[in-house]
Amino acid sequence: MAFQYLTNTSLKEARTAFLDALKSSGFGPDTETVPAAESCGRITAAAVYAAISAPHYLASAMDGIALRAGLTFGATETTPVTLREEDFIVVDTGDPVPDGCDAVVMTEDVIRQEDGSVRLYASASPWQHIRQIGEDICAGEMILPSHMRISPSAIGAMLAAGVLSVEVLRRPRIGIIPTGDEIVPPSADPKPGDIVEFNSSIFSAMIREWDGDPVVYPIVPDDRELLRSALLTAIKECDAVLLNAGSSAGREDYSAEVIAETGTVLCHGIAIKPGKPAILGLSGNKAILGVPGYPVSGILVLTEILRPLLDVWYGTAPDSGQTVDAVLSRPVVSGLKYQEYVRVHMGRVNGRLIASPLSRGSGVVSSFMKADGILTIPQGTEGHAAGETVRVKLLRPAEALDNTLVAIGSHDPLLDECADLLHRADPGLFMSSSHVGSMGGIMAVRRGEAHVAGIHLLNETDGTYNTASVRRYFPKGGVSLVECVGRTQGLMVAHGNPLGIRSLQDLTRDSVRYVNRQKGSGTRILTDYLCKTEGVSSRRISGYDREEFTHTSVAAQIAAGTADAGMGIYSASRLYGLDFLPLCTEQYDLLIPDYAIGLPMVQRLLEVLRSDDFRQRLKKMGGYTLKNPGAIRRHF
């Protein structure tokens, strides 16, 4: 088919047109009656009125005796009143107040006499310790207005008021049709080219959180007729349908055509990034969404389009969520053409809330999982400079951000183990790590944006690690160097070392494809240094400018056969079953600024480093030597 051109309609315009069209199409809920006891979280269809009063009778509010208050008038400490047995009735809490009685005196104030009479040393006031009819709710009163979410206590109020069933808005059925020839169900062993279909699971969980009822249909291959028939079925059975994906303009992207055949396409292409190739359409009073295939794009399109649609359905107010001001740790450049969504890590460091941009790839679903917030950059603006204060929409409670230890610096899988041990030790604490290399970590600490930085920086003149760099970048001090681990660096090569690589020199052979770490990382600096001392020209190493950001991602490339060698730590090579040529042992330490060292969560991290659990986990990973992890090597 011909190349389709996508429009670049602004989100606001597209969404308003879509929601307006749906409203006027009659899109909206019918109602259903459910037992009040099982209605928690549902939305009332109409105002709910009490059928009976609660309490529905005059009830004793105490254990004691019921009587006519008038009989007790004049009773005092010095002039007690004595009542005969026929003048009072013993009642327990909740008992009906007998006819003719208008007060209850509680057990503790009743002095029983041997002849069955009682003596009272204080007069009772009329209606004391009696629960009046309707004290809680009067028959006929409105208990809940329309379109309100039913809470646990509202269930109690309804049942107390004799309302045993309640009319609520039906949950909308949202059909999800996964499409694509290459799409396969989740698998632990997919073939190259297989795209694992996990979007429907993400979308279903989101829809349930928004009180929708997801219906996942079988995967449909890229075939126009099959897609059309699947869409027709879903339209019949559901209130809204998501076609995922095929919403772009490629050779086999049939979504727009098929939607046009079964209804109307209102908009194809929205000025948001990720999420641009979305399609908004309708068929009768059913909503149809073409959702892009990349998971981050899909999550954003559902958040920006489907959630407001559910608000229209329920007649509830859009939940715009909590937003906070935060200082941006790195610049974010955005095109003028789109409204852009940037996932950010957040944490409170040195009194300021810091937001660090995460990966912006729309295929990187883990960026959403790790994100603490979303920074929205409006269409027509170019982004933000580092250090700028920006408004961020929170994805986690603000409180959690105050208890998040922010680690920025060199990557080592041991940081993840620390995060796990820290959170196990104190479930109120979290740790977020950004991998920006040792130099990135030093700069983050200098700017007051990290509690901890992992570093391993060789001083070429004397072969020591870290102290020289710290002295250079913190001439006035203000930081501590905390001992962590020694670790073995070396060349990772495929299992069995098929190319027979024995030295750095071997990397210059034509047949060897190298994969490197990014500039500024300690491992890159080490590699540059080793090449220099061994007289190897790095320019002659093919792939020396192919950069990965972690030890594991270098190992992953070699394991998959897209590269033959890369520098990294032993634990990463072991994880992937690679062969390993040890080249040196280096010191990996934690740099901790004075503004952070006294924080309970940082002290807790040092305890983790000193723990047996930590030692055992690292032993299992291999390639580490531990002397006194958690000890302060030096304060600068």
Residues 352-411 that bind a copy of itself (CB under 8 A): 359, 361, 363-369, 397, 399, 403
- The type of residue at 561 is G
Smallest distance from the beta carbon of 370 to a copy of itself, in angstroms? Answer: 9
What is the nearest approach in angstroms of a copy of itself to the Cβ of residue 291?
A: 14
Choose, by CB under 8 A, the member of 6, 17, 89, 148 that binds a copy of itself.
Answer: 148
* Shortest CB 46 distance to a copy of itself, Å: 8
Q: Which is nearer to a copy of itself, 158 or 349 (CB)?
A: 158
Question: What is the separation, in whole angstroms, between the first and last Cα of the chain?
Answer: 67
Of 441, 454, 450, which Cα lies nearest the Cα of 413?
A: 454
Q: Considering the complex, what minimum distance in angstroms separates the CB of residue 161 from a copy of itself?
A: 8
Are 191 and 223 in contact, with CB atoms under 8 Å apart? no
Q: Are strands 323-328 and 389-394 parallel, antiparallel or unpaired?
A: antiparallel
The strand pairing partners of 31, in sequence order, are 169
Look at residue 438 and give its three-state secondary structure.
Answer: helix
Subset of 313-352 contacting a copy of itself (CB under 8 A): 314-320
Determine the interface stretch with a copy of itself among 72-80, 194-202, 478-486, 628-636 (rule: CB under 8 A): 194-202
Span from 162-170, 263-271, 324-332, 470-478 in contact with a copy of itself (CB under 8 A): 162-170
2 binds a copy of itself (CB under 8 A): no
Instruction: Lay out the site mask for a copy of itself across 95-114 (x = CB under 8 A, - = otherwise).
Output: xx----------x-------
| Beta-bridge mates of residue 625 | 486
Query: DSSP for 220-262?
Result: B-S-HHHHHHHHHHHHHH-SEEEEES--SSSTT--HHHHHHHH
3-state SS, residue 85? helix
Site for a copy of itself in 195-214 (CB under 8 A): 195-196, 198-199, 201-206, 208-209
Task: Report the interhelical angle of 224-237 vs 255-262 (nearest 10°).
Answer: 50
Site for a copy of itself in 58-77 (CB under 8 A): 58, 61, 63
Residues of span 234-293 touching a copy of itself by CB under 8 A? 248, 250-252, 293
Q: Residue 339 Cβ, how far from a copy of itself at the closest point, in Å?
A: 20
Of 74 and 427, which CB lies nearer to a copy of itself in the complex structure?
427
Q: How far is the CB of 385 from a copy of itself (least distance, A)?
A: 26
Q: How far apart are CA 334 and CA 250, in angstroms?
A: 25
In the bound state with a copy of itself, the residue whose beta carbon lies nearer, of 481 and 492, is: 492
Amino acid at 272: I
Chosen residue from 25, 28, 56, 68 binding a copy of itself by CB under 8 A: 56
CA dihedral 427, 429, 430, 431 (to 10 degrees): -130
User: Which one, 255 or 466, has the nearer CB to a copy of itself?
Assistant: 255
Running DSSP on this structure, what letter comes out for residue 218? Answer: P
For residue 128, the SS3 value is coil
**Closest approach of Cβ 427 to a copy of itself, in Å?**
4
- The residue type at 82: T
3-class secondary structure, 82:
strand
Which of residues 344 and 457 has its CB atom nearest to a copy of itself in the complex? Answer: 344
